[in-house]
């Protein structure tokens, strides 16, 4: 009898396929990134990210409650200030938009969700870089660390449970950990953007935060060809106190996600970023892809590669689909 082996037996019915499915995708594994803009009179659509908006403080609160109700595991909040300066003063000001929004969300949701903050200066600087500049206009690593420590304390004070340093400065995790411990926040954790690549896929995000950036981030973000370097970054971040490490972007770097999952002694997150979102949305809007099937396949693939957690702009919607299908 030929064929002797028939793998199709395990695919014959939905029940059989469900039984042998290797990869789980659950709402709690999804984290929703959200934007909040200072001085906005209503939610402002982001044209390159259909369905995603810059929230007002009120609309952010309402959308956050809905997302948590849908079962998402956490929220990652980004601030869009109305004024910017060279050192990103709005990032450390307790009246700065991100810190106000974090306090709103913590007051509204308490410990019902995991509240996360982007700990990076790029949204707050007038030059758009993730750090402060030296007299030659280069990003000054060590001067930036002082700003991150201050920003971390403001975010912890506002009520964030996890801080997400995303600037790729050397020593950023260590300096934040020390600042938190020294100021009485030993339980505030760090979700480190450990391996963050200088990616063209961040394009729509720049619109989402009204980025002022001229030039690129290649002196601090990683080169897309390098995988080994990501493992070194992860090792350093874990040694400095990272509680969770993250790879970003996700889809073009699934090999790095896999390598991280095999070696990191902490949970691994992957960020399904703005450009990955925009590609699928654009194709689906043209009728070229089935939107829901594509989104679930993307998220499942990131989980299959080894990510424990996935940051995705589809988090709330996907959570609702997953609940419906359970
Ligand atoms: C930096 C930051 C960026 C993103 C998250 N944090 C932009 C960048 O590094 O240029 C990108 C997220 C996305 O593209 O969805 N604060």
- 246 bridge partner residues: 269
Please tell me the distance from the alpha carbon of residue 17 to that of residue 54, in angstroms, as a whole number: 40
Active site residue: 55, 61, 177, 196, which one? Answer: 196
Please tell me the distance from the alpha carbon of residue 54 to that of residue 301, in angstroms, as a whole number: 28
Please tell me the distance from the alpha carbon of residue 236 to that of residue 254, in angstroms, as a whole number: 21
Return the structure tokens found at 8. 């199709």
Distances from the Cα of 59 to the Cαs of 30, 37, 40, 56, in angstroms?
21, 10, 10, 5
**Does the annotation count 248 as an active-site position?**
yes
- 196 bridge partner residues: 248
Does 67 reside within a domain? Answer: yes
CB atoms within 10 A of CB 231: 18
Strand 44-45 with 53-55, pairing:
antiparallel
Q: Kindly report the protein residue whose alpha carbon is nearest to atom 2 of ligand 1.
A: 166
**Counted domains in the chain:** 1
| Beta carbons of 102 and 159 less than 8 angstroms apart | yes
| Ranges assigned E (strand) in 81-199 | 114-119, 162-165, 189-196
At 324, the pLDDT band (50, 70, 90 cuts) reads: confident
At 72, the pLDDT band (50, 70, 90 cuts) reads: very high
Tens digits of per-residue pLDDT, 214-250? Answer: 899 999 999 999 999 999 999 999 999 999 999 999 9
Tens digits of per-residue pLDDT, 170-204? Answer: 999 999 999 999 999 999 999 999 999 999 999 99
Nearest to 69 by CA among 283, 322, 237, 316: 316
Does 81 reside within a domain? Answer: yes
Does 6 reside within a domain? Answer: no
Does 136 reside within a domain? Answer: yes
Tens digits of per-residue pLDDT, 46-61? Answer: 999 999 999 999 999 9
CB atoms within 10 A of CB 227: 15
Q: Please report the pLDDT score of residue 44 as a whole number.
A: 97
Does 145 reside within a domain? Answer: yes
Candidate from 46, 48, 202 with most ligand 1 atoms within 8 A of CB, to mutate? 202
Does 15 reside within a domain? Answer: no
Ligand 1, CB cutoff 6 Å, lining residues: 118, 120, 122, 130, 166, 202, 205, 217, 273-274
CATH classification at residue 289: 3.20.20.70
| pLDDT at position 326 over 80 | no
SS (H, E, C) 244-309: EEEEECCHHHHHHHHHHHHHCCCCEEEEECHHHHHHHHHHHHCCCCCHHHHHHHHHHHHHHHCCCE
Q: Please report the pLDDT score of residue 141 as a whole number.
A: 98
Q: What is the mean pLDDT of residues 148-158?
A: 98
Distances from the Cα of 300 to the Cαs of 1, 22, 33, in angstroms?
36, 10, 18
pTM of the predicted model, to two decimals? 0.97
**Ligand 1 centroid vs 209 CA: distance in angstroms?**
9
**Does the annotation count 218 as an active-site position?**
no
Tens digits of per-residue pLDDT, 107-132? Answer: 999 999 999 999 999 999 999 999 99
% of the chain exceeding 70 in pLDDT: 100
Q: Please report the pLDDT score of residue 226 as a whole number.
A: 98
ipTM above 0.85, yes or no: yes
Domain span holding position 68: 23-219+227-325
Q: Please report the pLDDT score of residue 96 as a whole number.
A: 98
| pLDDT at position 43 over 80 | yes
At 325, the pLDDT band (50, 70, 90 cuts) reads: confident
Nearest to 261 by CA among 231, 291, 288: 231
Q: Please report the pLDDT score of residue 214 as a whole number.
A: 87
> 147 a known binding residue?
no
Return the structure tokens found at 81. 């200030």
Q: Tokens 């949970």 identify what position? A: 267
21-53 b/e (C-beta count within 10 Å ≥ 16 → b): eeeebebebbbbbbbbbbebeebbebebbeebb
At 16, the pLDDT band (50, 70, 90 cuts) reads: very high
Does 192 reside within a domain? Answer: yes
| Beta carbons of 208 and 274 less than 8 angstroms apart | yes
Which sign, positive or negative, has the C-alpha torsion 322, 166, 190, 249?
positive
Does 8 reside within a domain? Answer: no
% of the chain exceeding 90 in pLDDT: 98
Return the structure tokens found at 304. 């299959």
- 162 bridge partner residues: 116, 189
| Beta carbons of 309 and 270 less than 8 angstroms apart | yes
């Amino acid at each position: 009898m030929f064929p002797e082996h028939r793998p199709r037996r395990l695919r014959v019915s939905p029940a059989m396929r469900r039984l042998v499915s290797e990869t789980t995708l659950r709402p709690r594994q999804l984290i929703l990134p959200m934007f909040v803009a200072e001085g906005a009179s209503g939610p402002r659509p982001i044209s390159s990210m259909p369905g995603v908006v810059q929230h007002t403080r009120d609309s952010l609160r309402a959308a956050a409650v809905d997302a948590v109700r849908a079962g998402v595991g956490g929220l990652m909040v980004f601030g869009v200030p109305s004024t910017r300066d060279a050192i990103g003063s709005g990032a450390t000001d307790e009246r700065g938009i991100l810190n106000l929004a974090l306090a709103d969300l913590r007051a509204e949701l308490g410990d019902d969700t995991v509240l996360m903050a982007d700990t990076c200066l790029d949204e707050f600087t007038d030059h758009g870089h993730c750090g402060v500049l030296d007299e030659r206009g280069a990003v000054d690593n060590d001067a930036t660390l002082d700003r991150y420590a201050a920003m971390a304390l403001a975010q912890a004070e506002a009520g964030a449970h996890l801080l997400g340093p995303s600037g790729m400065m050397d020593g950023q995790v260590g300096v934040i950990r020390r600042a938190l411990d020294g100021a009485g926040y030993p339980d505030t954790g760090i979700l480190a953007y450990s391996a963050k690549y200088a990616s063209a896929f961040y394009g729509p995000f720049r619109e989402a935060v009204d980025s002022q950036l001229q030039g690129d981030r290649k002196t601090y973000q990683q080169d897309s060809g390098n995988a080994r370097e990501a493992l070194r970054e992860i090792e350093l971040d874990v040694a400095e106190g990272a509680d969770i490490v993250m790879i970003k972007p996700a889809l073009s770097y699934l090999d790095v996600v896999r390598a991280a999952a095999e070696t990191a002694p902490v949970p691994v997150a992957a960020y399904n970023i703005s450009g990955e979102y925009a590609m699928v949305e654009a194709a689906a809007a043209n009728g070229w892809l089935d939107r829901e099937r594509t989104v679930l396949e993307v998220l499942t693939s990131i989980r299959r590669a080894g990510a424990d957690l996935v940051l995705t702009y589809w988090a709330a919607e996907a959570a609702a689909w997953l609940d419906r299908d359970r």
